[in-house]
Structure 1
Amino acid sequence: MTQRHVIAIAGNPNTGKTTLFNALTGHRARVGNYPGITVERRMAGVVLPNGAKVDLLDIPGTYSLLARTAEEQIALETLLGLRDLPRPDAVIVCVDATQLVRSTYLVMQAQEMGLPVIVALTMTDEAGSAAPDPAALADILGCEVVPVLARKGIGLDDIRRAMVRAGVAAGRGEDEGGDGGAAKWRWQPSSALAERVAEVRRVLPAAWPQTDAVALWALMSVDEDDELDEVDDRLRAAVAAACPSSEVANDIDDEVIEARYRWLDEHVAPLVRGQPDRTLTERVDSVLLNRVAGFAVFLGIMFLVFQSLFAWADPAITLIEELFGWAGGAIEAILPESILRDLLVEGLIAGVGSVLVFLPQILLLFFFLGLMEDSGYLARVAYLMDRIMKSMNLHGRAFVPMLSGFACAVPAILATRTMERRRDRLLTMMVVPLMTCSARLPVYTLVIASLYPAGHVLGIFPVQGLLMVLMYLFSTATALVAAWVLSRSVKPLRARRLPFVIELPPYRLPRLADVLRMMWERSRLFLSEAGRVILVCTVLLWALLSFPQTLPEGAPDYDAMIAAAAGAEEQAQLENEREGALLRESYGGRLGHVIEPVIEPLGFDWKIGVGIVGAFAAREVFVSTLGVVYSAGSDVDESSATLRERIRAEVRADGSPVYTPLVGLSLMIFFALACQCMSTLAVVKRETGGYRWPLFLFGYMTTLAWVASFVVYQGGRLLGLG
């Protein structure tokens, strides 16, 4: 059985690389008008015009093959076939027609590595008349150049035919740029550099391509501060001998980079027939990048977004609540009283339904974030935030994962791979979980909608939308302050901050299809991943709250009392008292009472404690847990009431309300700061390679949450607020 050909797609960030991958494969990988979207390899099959099947690899966007970041290392390993990966038969390099010289730098590197290259010339519609002539560019680069507009399906057949020709030509011998022989450099290295390259080439690992280009890569990438994995000790020693000082290493970098760009400036730059018209972009940026006006616009946009989560989503939420209420009532009418009926009504419907009602808000949040990302606006926000990030010792690139943290901390932590240094990645991982993710949104929405009336502040600002904005601002401010403290108090997180460089992409009309696809994919992930956790936890919590169905010795004989009751109203009251007593004596009730002394200073009772314990599996489980708790403790007349109504009606033994606005604020503060997500801790363990950092993350966030909630609740009581 012959091995299938492998063709890689490479390119600078934001050059349409993943869009081309999706168009060729029918895949639905995430795309965006923002650097740093792809952080791992993706592979999908493609059928070529000659019937051959090839595997197409989408590798992370990179500006060069110097492996200083995780993305660059993934790109290099994929292109060279390291770590037992198949070496690509060819590589499609996406070249941005609006940034021709910079984009073709990667083409030069790939050709030096001995790879057959196909250039996909993208963004030609944005370049307009300034776009280079593809035939002239092909003559200069010595490879096929195919103009492509993947969004519109233009040039895809030409790329497929070029892939056929590349597959036939792949694996040629030493004289044609194969794995043997010297690199086909378009510039001439100095004699000193050539000697150093030869020294390093002699000790390259046997599994690596034995080329001068790989030896040059080692000279420019391997040093005592790098974070490269599996680099042979002999190779490190040879590089250290060839580069005995940082000055020598810097001289090598300068010589190579200047020589490459000198060739590009002489041969490629003349093909650019003018500069794209960016007048409109510059005018908009004069406002959006202004330190005052830009922040005001950003805050205004976020306020409108969060207010819309209530105003636009509430009808859909109400409809879903009514549907689940109807489903629960229908099952109660059909099935006789039994454990099965309790499981279906109090466990599955009450628990899962109380979380699914917030799906409309999650969809809206992802929709707005997708519009801002696809338009290029989020890159401007990153630029604005860099001054603040710098003051908190965070790298500017940390804004990308921190912003992604508004959706989910797991992909946000993966996005830290775009940063060069381990210190920057670790520090960002430690604060990303503080960002308000979509799993916290159901908790905030439940508390705000239940305890805060839909009024206005100063007759202008809606109370509910303003509270939601403040919670998001609180989480962002806390994350920044935490970064400042950790960077000064935790030794591994201390380091000099590197300058932040980000490309500001041109403004583009958001592609509605891509935005909707991204919105659906993220929401589907929420339903599939979180849904499974919620389902398992809901059933487990229902069992904990339903068993044992016995009362302790000395408890009232409720059965006899109900039988002797004078009327239906008295019977219902006694039945409700019995259900409450059974709930308190259940395994879950006992657990809640055990932790109640710890959380009581925060304003929480044992029922909230049960919800907090359940939320350690996933934050959104807190809502389903309360749904189960209050279903298990409700009488028949309350069974159709929504969870929000039950929370508002919950009272203590002395008749005082359990939930007050102050308790609600304390609860939201706790959830804003606590690390109640096992998935987040798992991905931190995977990225850091051990238990040290996830345990530290869990410990400091839980402590911070308790202290902050304690200060809010007890401080509010001292001020007479609760």
Structure 2
Amino acid sequence: MSDQPIRSDPAIALVGNPNTGKTTLFNALTGLSQRVGNYPGVTVQYQSGHMDLASGDAQIIDLPGTYSLSASSPDEAIAVDVLLGQQVGADPIDVVVVIADASNLRRHLYLLSQIIETDHRVVLALNMMDLARERGVHVDIDELSARLGIRVVALTSHRGDGIDELILAVEETLQEPRSEDAFSSPVPGSLVAAAHDLCQDETHPVNSHVEALRVLVDAGGHLEERLVERTNGDITQRLVALREKAATGRPLSAIESEARYAWVAQLVDGTLRGDEQLRPRRSDRIDRLLTHRVAGLAVFLAISAITFQGIFSWSAPLMDAIDGLFGDLGVVVGRYINEGPLQSLVVDGVITGVGGVLIFLPQIAILFLIISLLEDCGYMARAAMMMDRLLRFCGLSGRSFIPMLSSFACAVPGILSARAISERRDRYVTILVAPLMSCSARLPVYVLFIAAFIPDRPMLGSWLGLQGLTLLAMYGVGASVAIPVALLLRRTLLQGQSTPFLIELPSYKWPVPKVVLMRVYLNSREFVVRAGSIILAATIVMWALAYYPHSAEIATDFDGRRQAAETLPEATRTTTLESIDLAEATAYLEASYLGRAGRFLEPVVEPLGWDWRLGMAALASFPARELIISTLGTIYSLGADANETSSDLRSALRASPGADGEPLDTPVALSVMVFFALCAQCTSTLAVIRREMGSWGWVVLSFGYMTALAYAGAFIVYQVTESLGWGAVG
């Protein structure tokens, strides 16, 4: 690897354990010149950027965090494949920068020992030197560098300390080919010999000594699976024989671990002092509080309450501004396009579709901001450990906590974050239940129907009202149902034992504003590009279904009404013409393909207390659940710009007849909200499930079981509350 000539745009890989400040360093090196991408054929994402060297531009690749080259999750597998030169579409790596926590150096040098064996040019970056000094840890940088035969740089990346020295070390390392005998592997000779034999076997070729070593040690790992597939299974018996020869009666993984940690102990002897002392007592006391069965849960619930309150209240002004901006844009654009299908496509399809995506960007950004702050300060790892007790009851583990929490803003990033779960069964169950968490798109539905049908009655004193309690209950519906669903999946389709949840609790530290804001920006941009394109396309399809066939008879009828209205006094003419326009839109909608579908579905939704209007609105909201609001606005002749705070829309709902011909009431409202709390969220969620799980079968299962749950839940709630006489509002 290292004897290849250096390219004009060398590739620098950042590798390290989780919680070593790797992303902070990446942001410090690249600034805003970074992007999120995928390698061909895989769904795991990586970040890349550029930094300036004295010799020219260099590409920086931030690989997923990993504790070793024994990959146990899709994220870690990508890091291993890139380092071994086996990832399709990845540039050859010219220098690997291994980031290690200077305050916990013994554990992090294990990964370094494996990476040096890859024969890459390597630079060791000792990050968090400020924390190491606070703990009384001292590292002899020069001696450590001499023993390793590589450059070692001390860093405090969040302050920018040592960044220039690291860039210089990378540049100097680029100019020096690595000597093949500079590093002696700590792995026992029997294992090295077995790997050598596998490399020399011409009938079953492997690409390198390191790959052969990983295939032998990591039995059943992704490298072995790939080799077995490449050789049509012929290699299996050969691997068994080589492992038996090298194992000497003990697991190869244990042999490797003992040898590498013995090497680490010898390496730090004389180069590391003070690392054996305990953490500060204040940190221990905080840990005991945050991970306590009762107190920890109380803290988590309090943080969750603040998070949701922030998402809902802090985002309101920005959401109103975006809503108004796109509403005004639609009016302005509509003036320059003649009335007809093109105008409707641009205004009602494209502009409304884009606005429907961007209006929720503030909530997404606020959620990512809060999660980033909690991650950077070290709390999220404690919360995951505390929630592991509850999730283990469902057959999951604390690894599922972050994906499920993220799904309360949007299931798309929640599902994507499940990639960090190493166990396939746990990952799949998490992906399938994550959409049950009430995302931000469901909030407008709750707000509209609660305000219209649930009285603002005080409960438990003056600080909690019935409306607020109902909103809390709607968020609890999905989370509560997720427990038995996860249990059922683990005992049927995805059986197997969950792996123990082991997590390294990172040190407490103040979040770095630049890093947090960069993470919010990148994740928000990714949401807009990925989810926005899907929702926009689906919105245009729904527009076509709601527009066609455009009946000429309806046009003739309402043109006649307009002509008659022109003769009215000026005081009533404008209002009458507006009413005619909205009534015409309603007539077109009822006669459209979507309206016909609503009529067709009416017998199906009648047991839920719905009429064809609610059925059609629910159907139209499939691309994005918040679309039900604008659809109802059109149905009730209020315009597509009606929103969940519209008093006219609330009044129209209360006056609208239900399935029994009587005005809609509280049981119908509860039925609608429960249905939306449990149904499949949107097309972007289903698309991401297909992408992450690799099969349309899982998409069908997800959509099918959630639709069945939603229908059953809505049916039970409506029938029970109706029989209890909850129809009165007041």
TM-score of the pair, normalised by structure 1: 0.85
1:301 aligns with 2:273: no
Q: 1:598 aligns with which of 596, 599, 604?
A: 604
Deviation of the 1:621 alpha carbon: 3.7
Deviation of the 1:678 alpha carbon: 2.7
Which residue matches 2:39? none
Q: Deviations over 1:46-76 (max 9, x none)?
A: 3322x14333222111111113322332122
Tell me the amino acid that sits aligned with residue 544 of structure 1.
L
Tell me the amino acid that sits aligned with residue 161 of structure 1.
L
CA shift in 2, pair 1:677/1:241, >3 Å? farther
1:122 aligns with 2:101: no
Which residue matches 1:153? 160
1:457 aligns with 2:462: no
Deviation of the 1:507 alpha carbon: 1.9
Gaps of 5+ in 2: 37-42
Deviation of the 1:202 alpha carbon: 2.7
Q: Do the aligned residues in 2 keep the contact of 1:307 with 1:466 (CA within 8 Å)?
A: no
1:264 aligns with 2:271: no
1:221 aligns with 2:209: no
Q: Do the aligned residues in 2 keep the contact of 1:92 with 1:118 (CA within 8 Å)?
A: yes
Alignment of 1:460-539 (within 5 A): 460-490=463-493, 493-539=494-540
SS of residue paired to 1:53: strand
Gaps of 5+ in 1: 32-37, 178-183
Deviation of the 1:380 alpha carbon: 1.3
Which residue matches 2:10? 5
CA shift in 2, pair 1:445/1:139, >3 Å? farther
Distance in 2 (alpha carbons) for counterparts of 1:55 and 1:349: 37
Q: 2:286 aligns with which of 269, 284, 287?
A: 284
Distance in 1 (alpha carbons) for counterparts of 2:368 and 2:149: 44
CA shift in 2, pair 1:28/1:241, >3 Å? same
Alignment of 1:320-339 (within 5 A): none
Q: Deviations over 1:124-158 (max 9, x none)?
A: 11111314222232233222110112222221221
Q: Do the aligned residues in 2 keep the contact of 1:355 with 1:624 (CA within 8 Å)?
A: no
Distance in 2 (alpha carbons) for counterparts of 1:417 and 1:315: 34
Distance in 2 (alpha carbons) for counterparts of 1:358 and 1:454: 26
Distance in 2 (alpha carbons) for counterparts of 1:641 and 1:400: 31
Q: 1:133 aligns with which of 122, 136, 140?
A: 140
SS of residue paired to 1:506: coil
Q: Deviations over 1:153-195 (max 9, x none)?
A: 221221111112221223x464456xxxxxx2146x25x4455
Q: Do the aligned residues in 2 keep the contact of 1:579 with 1:634 (CA within 8 Å)?
A: no
1:46 aligns with 2:51: yes
Alignment of 1:159-558 (within 5 A): 159-170=166-177, 172=178, 174-176=180-182, 184-186=184-186, 189=188, 192-203=190-201, 208-211=206-209, 213-223=210-220, 228-231=225-228, 232=231, 233-244=233-244, 250-268=250-268, 271-274=272-275, 275=277, 277-318=279-320, 353=355, 356-452=358-454, 456-458=458-460, 459-490=462-493, 493-550=494-551
Tell me the amino acid that sits aligned with residue 603 of structure 1.
G
SS of residue paired to 2:646: helix
Tell me the amino acid that sits aligned with residue 167 of structure 2.
R
Tell me the amino acid that sits aligned with residue 279 of structure 1.
R
Q: Deviations over 1:587-645 (max 9, x none)?
A: 22112212222223223333333333333333344444445545xx348xx98887633
Tell me the amino acid that sits aligned with residue 214 of structure 2.
W
1:691 aligns with 2:688: no
Q: Do the aligned residues in 2 keep the contact of 1:10 with 1:94 (CA within 8 Å)?
A: yes
Which residue matches 2:40? none
Distance in 2 (alpha carbons) for counterparts of 1:218 and 1:689: 25
Deviation of the 1:257 alpha carbon: 0.8
SS of residue paired to 2:251: helix
Distance in 1 (alpha carbons) for counterparts of 2:664 and 2:351: 24
Deviation of the 1:484 alpha carbon: 0.6
Which residue matches 1:181? none
Tell me the amino acid that sits aligned with residue 220 of structure 1.
V
Q: Do the aligned residues in 2 keep the contact of 1:352 with 1:538 (CA within 8 Å)?
A: no
SS of residue paired to 1:616: coil
Distance in 1 (alpha carbons) for counterparts of 2:360 and 2:463: 26
Paired residues, number: 698
Distance in 1 (alpha carbons) for counterparts of 2:253 and 2:693: 30
Q: Percent identity?
A: 39
SS of residue paired to 2:72: coil
Distance in 2 (alpha carbons) for counterparts of 1:640 and 1:526: 25
Distance in 2 (alpha carbons) for counterparts of 1:615 and 1:30: 32
Q: 1:109 aligns with which of 101, 114, 117?
A: 114
Which residue matches 1:666? 671
Distance in 2 (alpha carbons) for counterparts of 1:340 and 1:193: 70
Distance in 2 (alpha carbons) for counterparts of 1:486 and 1:602: 27
Tell me the amino acid that sits aligned with residue 508 of structure 1.
K
SS of residue paired to 1:14: coil
Q: 1:708 aligns with which of 713, 720, 727?
A: 713
Deviation of the 1:649 alpha carbon: 2.0
Q: Do the aligned residues in 2 keep the contact of 1:405 with 1:412 (CA within 8 Å)?
A: yes
1:24 aligns with 2:29: yes
CA shift in 2, pair 1:293/1:333, >3 Å? same
Tell me the amino acid that sits aligned with residue 496 of structure 2.
A
SS of residue paired to 2:111: helix
Distance in 1 (alpha carbons) for counterparts of 2:109 and 2:6: 33
CA shift in 2, pair 1:115/1:545, >3 Å? closer
Q: Do the aligned residues in 1 keep the contact of 2:215 with 2:221 (CA within 8 Å)?
A: no
Distance in 1 (alpha carbons) for counterparts of 2:196 and 2:339: 83
CA shift in 2, pair 1:139/1:452, >3 Å? farther
Moved more, 122-131 or 653-662: 653-662
Deviation of the 1:107 alpha carbon: 0.8
Distance in 2 (alpha carbons) for counterparts of 1:251 and 1:11: 26
CA shift in 2, pair 1:629/1:427, >3 Å? same
SS of residue paired to 1:413: helix
Q: Do the aligned residues in 1 keep the contact of 2:14 with 2:60 (CA within 8 Å)?
A: yes
Tell me the amino acid that sits aligned with residue 587 of structure 2.
A
Distance in 2 (alpha carbons) for counterparts of 1:718 and 1:578: 38
Deviation of the 1:101 alpha carbon: 0.4
Tell me the amino acid that sits aligned with residue 288 of structure 1.
L
Which residue matches 2:84? 80
1:63 aligns with 2:63: no
Distance in 2 (alpha carbons) for counterparts of 1:690 and 1:303: 36
CA shift in 2, pair 1:351/1:696, >3 Å? closer
Tell me the amino acid that sits aligned with residue 199 of structure 1.
D
Deviation of the 1:80 alpha carbon: 1.3
Tell me the amino acid that sits aligned with residue 610 of structure 1.
M
Distance in 2 (alpha carbons) for counterparts of 1:219 and 1:541: 54
Deviation of the 1:577 alpha carbon: 5.2
Distance in 2 (alpha carbons) for counterparts of 1:351 and 1:141: 57
Distance in 2 (alpha carbons) for counterparts of 1:202 and 1:601: 71
Distance in 1 (alpha carbons) for counterparts of 2:709 and 2:719: 15
Q: Do the aligned residues in 2 keep the contact of 1:627 with 1:643 (CA within 8 Å)?
A: no
